[in-house]
Amino acid sequence: MTALPSHSGETAAIDLAAYFRRVGFGVGTGGLAPRADLATLRALHARHLATIPFENLSPLLGMPVPLDPDHLHHKLVDQARGGYCFEHNLLFLGVLQRLGFAAEGLAARVRWNLPHDAPVTPRTHMLLRVRIDETDYLLDTGFGGMTPDAPLAWQCGLEQATALDTFRLRRITTDEPGAAGETYALEAKIGAEWRVLYLIDPEPKHRADFEQMNWFVATHPQSRFVNHLVVARPAAGARHNLFNGRYTIHRRAAPPEVREVDSVEALLGLLGDVFGIEPPPHPVLHQRLRAVLGISA
């Protein structure tokens, strides 16, 4: 396994001590001493998800989404903001590499909430593969409301229960939309039904590949993240999800709790109180939030 190709000195831009403080990990907080093992991987992954929210305020406001390590560290660590898949997983990849993990970035086609026969979608998602003691693990810190909440063994057909959901990896045939050659589907069990989250290309990708995908996601006029507010964070045994003005709490084996947010003030309060986000000061912030709530100017 090879690490994601990077520019000289890239991982040095990550201040591990600052990152550990941000996510609440380390000996000083009663946690583990970081080392390249499965216990550290599980603990870091859990702390990252619980602390750094998934959010797309930057593309919603028309702001750039740089992926270089300095910008990622400044936004997600120093500014206590969140981000989406490329930001989360590139930052986490850099942390893992600094700790000595064998880790690499992969790309996937999102299929979540699409019918089986929906047209092929582009590769617009990033995830990680990590090898520990000759065993590979699927790791994701940035799939929004259905982000796997624990590392998953890269073992096809195995049902893997986490605190919040049950997942499995399936090698799929090329007659499924978006599948070509060796392709894997990550699925979640929703009730009695297995539903595909995304289709994974197992070949490691270069940073240039993710830069291109990120440009599409952050700027395309029809991109979900340019037109809608999407925020998520797992906390206290539940998934907290926000899509525009619909706030939903999902708990295992329980019906979802849904609340509609009807004002910009309430939305800003929710972003701060539940998701820990202070939106960036921006001249069109209130205008864009009114738009996603369907409130006329």
262: Cβ contacts below 8 Å, ≥ 6 apart: 245, 293
Within a domain: 267: yes
Domain of 239, in residue numbers: 219-293
Within a domain: 121: no
Within a domain: 70: no
Confidence (pLDDT) at 217: 98
Within a domain: 10: no
Q: Which of 45, 73, 88, 125 is catalytic?
A: 125
Q: Which of 45, 73, 88, 140 is catalytic?
A: 140
Is residue 262 annotated as a catalytic residue, yes or no? no
Within a domain: 225: yes
Block means of pLDDT (10 residues each) for the chain, 297 residues, are: 48 83 75 84 96 98 97 96 98 96 97 91 97 97 97 98 97 69 92 95 96 98 97 94 98 94 97 96 96 90
Is residue 85 annotated as a catalytic residue, yes or no? yes
Query: Could you tell me if 117 and 108 are in contact, meaning their C-beta atoms sit under 8 angstroms apart?
Result: no
How many domains does the chain divide into? Answer: 1
Dump pLDDT digits (tens) for 14-58.
Answer: 899 999 999 999 755 455 678 999 999 999 999 999 999 999 999
Q: Which of 45, 48, 73, 85 is catalytic?
A: 85
Confidence (pLDDT) at 11: 53
Within a domain: 276: yes
Within a domain: 278: yes
Is residue 71 annotated as a catalytic residue, yes or no? no
Domain with residue 287: its CATH number is 3.30.2140.10
Confidence (pLDDT) at 9: 42
Confidence (pLDDT) at 179: 64
Within a domain: 252: yes
Confidence (pLDDT) at 12: 55
